[in-house]
Every structure is written in C-alpha cells, then in structure tokens.
Amino acid sequence: MVMPPKVCPECGEEYVHVASVCVHCDVPLVLEGEVPVGGAAEELPLVSELVCVRASSVGWAMSLSEHLAEAGIPHRIEAATSDADEGTQRKPGQDLPYGVFVLAEHEEAATRIDLAHTGQQIPDIPEDFGRSEISADDCPACGGSISPTATECPDCGLALLPPE
C-alpha cells in the first residue's frame, strides 16, 4: 500500500509519509490537503506576545496541539531557536524542543489541558504536579535534578528548551 506524501504547510515541500518536520521551516508536516493542527496560528500574534504552555519534542507538542484544537483553543507550535542555531543547517528528523503557545486569556484552560495530557502520558506523575513552585534546576515533569544546559531530563527524558 502506498502511503500519501506529507507536505510543509509553509513552503509546500513534499516529504515521505513518515517524515514529521520540514527541514527548511522547522514546522510539523501535514498530509496533502490537510489543514495544519492549530490552523488558526496565522490569526495569532507573534510568539513574543503569546504564553508558552509547554516546551517539548515535536511529537509531544503535536499531541498536546490535538487536545487544544479539540477544546477550540487557538495555539501555535514553533521550534525553539537559540543564538547558537542561527545560520546552522539542522539535520532532517532532528528532535528539537518545540513550544506550544496560546493567548494569555487561554493560558489557564490550556494549562489544565496540558496537565491532563501529561497525566495520560505519564500515569505515575505526582498528583500535585504543576501546582507547586518548581525550581529552575528541577525537571518540570518528574522533579529530578537537571543541569542548566540540559536539553533533556536524564531521569524521565522530557525534552527541555535551552535557557534564554
């Protein structure tokens, strides 16, 4: 059975069905003719004016995006960039941290959805997860100790955004 190709919703580049991210635009790919998840992203302001609900791998971000879309919460997924990345070519399929962004007025509802989604993905997560203050040196998912430059939690594997 031939699987349909995926395309980049930004540049239109065509990819094999198993590809997930455009190597040129760093955006999640969609099936040909499909509306990108979080399709109202062009109606949202710039990311600098939005609130980041979760920073994660593209798979986690896409899964959370589906839940936000079901709830009717407009959002945007964008790849994290750092000054070190500027001008560098990323490898195809490289698993980079992605941010899921919403309007400030939707932050509370999006956070509840994120916590529910996290509970589904990590069933043994503590009940008070997300309700207590977490140190910048602790993983937001499992509470394990992480270094300031870590891109992934050594205990649970949660992808982390690089410090700004």
pLDDT tens-place values along the chain, 164 residues long: 677 888 888 788 888 878 888 888 788 888 776 655 544 444 788 888 889 888 888 788 888 888 898 888 888 888 766 544 444 444 444 456 788 899 999 999 999 998 888 888 877 777 666 554 445 567 777 777 777 777 788 888 887 765 54
Q: Which helix (H) or strand (E) holds 30?
A: strand 30-31
pTM to 2 decimal places: 0.52
Q: Are 110 and 64 in contact (CB under 8 A)?
A: no
Cβ burial of 81 (10 Å; 0-12, 13-18, 19+) is: middle
What is the spatial distance between Cα 27 and Cα 48, in angstroms, rounded to a whole number? Answer: 17
